[in-house]
Structures are given as C-alpha cells and as structure tokens.
C-alpha cells in the first residue's frame, strides 16, 4: 500500500497490519488505526491480548474437533446434548449458525473442510477418521450431514454416506431449501430451521424424519 511520508512509521505499520485482514480496505485500515490511537490504552491492550490468547490457548476438541479452550469442549461434555445424533459440518462457524436455529440438540463434528479434488483435498485431509471413530461405540444413531450445498459439500456428504452406510446408522442431510452454491453459515435462521426439520434420508427416499 502506497503510504504518504507524513504518516508516522509506527502508525503506518498498524495501518498495514489492519489492511492485511480480510475485508479491510486501505481507508478502513486508516480509520481503525487512528481510532486505536485515540482509544484508551486498555482497549488496544485488550485486542492485542485477545489476538495472542486465541493463538496460545485454543485447540481442537479431541471429540468433535471444534475450536475450544478446554478438551473436551462445552458441547461434548454437556450431558443435556443428545449423544445419539451427530451433526457433521465443514467449519466451526457452521455450528454457530446451526445453534442459532435451536433446531439441533445433539452433538457436532467439524470436518475442517470439504473434499475437493481440484484443490487436492481428499478425505484424509479432513477429520473423517475422527468421525468414524466416534460412530462405533457411543450409542450414535443418526448422522446429519450438514455440509455446504455446493459441489465440494455434496461430494463430501456422498463420500461420508458411502463410508458410514455399512454401520447401520440413520444418515440424513439438510433439506434442500438452502440456495445452491451458498454457505451454511450465511443462511437465515428460518431457512436453516426448515432445512434441519425436514432433513431427508441419504438414500434419496421421500420419507422425512421430524426433528426430535
């Protein structure tokens, strides 16, 4: 980014650091830096500490692979969350979106991506092994495949459906109703609640299971 020599180097470095963040343009970066300059020192410190803490203290839950401070995470150690239903998502933010609907009271599993031959991402690059390990011995009865309704997400759901198929579990996916090519994370709550409520059997049968 071209910078005027009248900007102090320290300030220029902060502007650059903000500008490196996704969705922050040069003007926004400048505004944010001058805001920090005028803000109480405590506010700058709080952001600086939060940035480092997130790198130091967070880890993946050994069970569901979601991001957590404690292992196992709050959901996996909550006795009120039904252990017999596991909702499989691509990313942690998908869980946040699904939780907002209030339509899923079971557990989760985060794949941290989707199968994408174009990008050289196969099942072995995702948390698939960890998912299969959970399905054998924890009384799981249903796996909801809540991958994104796009090419990679559908390929992932198809793959998982085949792999899990022999285990005698109910395998469902989110009802189509989500716009194709979109992200689960951005779906409005009503659409997503509908999709959860009317999830359909993975073998394509017209039967519908009502959410518990």
What is the contact surface with its own copies in residues (CB under 8 A)? 4-11, 13-14, 16-18, 20-23, 28, 30-37, 41, 43-55, 57-58, 66-69, 73-75, 91-93, 95-96, 99-100, 108
Q: How far is the CB of 168 from its own copies (least distance, A)?
A: 29
Three-class SS state of 201? strand
Contact 98, 146 (CB under 8 A): yes
Residues 128, 200: Cα–Cα separation, whole Å? 22
Residues 125, 158: Cα–Cα separation, whole Å? 16
* 193 conformational bin, left if phi > 0, alpha if psi -120 to 50, beta if neither: alpha
Buried b (16+ CB within 10 A) or exposed e, 199-208: bbebeeeeee
Identify which of residues 73 and 103 has a Cβ nearer to its own copies in the complex.
Answer: 73
Identify which of residues 161 and 191 has a Cβ nearer to its own copies in the complex.
Answer: 191
Q: How far is the CB of 101 from its own copies (least distance, A)?
A: 11
Q: How far is the CB of 16 from its own copies (least distance, A)?
A: 8
For residue 142, what are the CA distances in angstroms to 17, 98, 145, 159, 202? Answer: 45, 17, 10, 16, 11
Q: How far is the CB of 10 from its own copies (least distance, A)?
A: 5
The DSSP output letter for 77 is: T
Identify which of residues 43 and 179 has a Cβ nearer to its own copies in the complex.
Answer: 43
Identify which of residues 10 and 138 has a Cβ nearer to its own copies in the complex.
Answer: 10
Identify which of residues 70 and 167 has a Cβ nearer to its own copies in the complex.
Answer: 70
- 109 beta partners: 88
Q: How far is the CB of 188 from its own copies (least distance, A)?
A: 13
């Amino acid at each position: 980014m071209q910078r005027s020599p009248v900007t102090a180097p320290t300030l220029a470095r902060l502007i650059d650091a903000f500008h490196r963040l996704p969705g922050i343009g040069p003007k926004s970066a400048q505004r944010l830096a001058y805001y920090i300059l005028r803000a109480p020192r405590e506010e700058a410190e709080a952001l600086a500490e939060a940035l480092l803490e997130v790198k130091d203290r967070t880890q993946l839950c050994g069970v569901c692979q979601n991001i957590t401070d404690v292992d196992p995470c709050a959901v996996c150690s909550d006795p009120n969350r039904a252990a017999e239903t596991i909702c499989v998502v691509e990313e942690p933010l998908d869980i946040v979106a699904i939780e907002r609907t209030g339509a899923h009271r079971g557990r989760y599993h985060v794949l941290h991506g989707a199968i994408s031959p174009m990008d050289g991402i196969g099942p072995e690059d995702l948390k698939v092994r960890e998912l299969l390990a959970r399905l054998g011995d924890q009384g799981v009865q249903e796996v909801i495949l809540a991958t994104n309704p796009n090419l990679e997400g559908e390929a992932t759901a198809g793959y998982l459906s085949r792999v899990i198929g022999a285990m005698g579990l109910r395998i469902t996916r989110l009802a189509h109703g989500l716009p194709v090519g979109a992200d689960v994370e951005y779906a409005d709550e009503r659409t997503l609640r509908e999709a959860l409520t009317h999830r359909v059997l993975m073998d394509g049968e017209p039967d519908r299971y009502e959410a518990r």
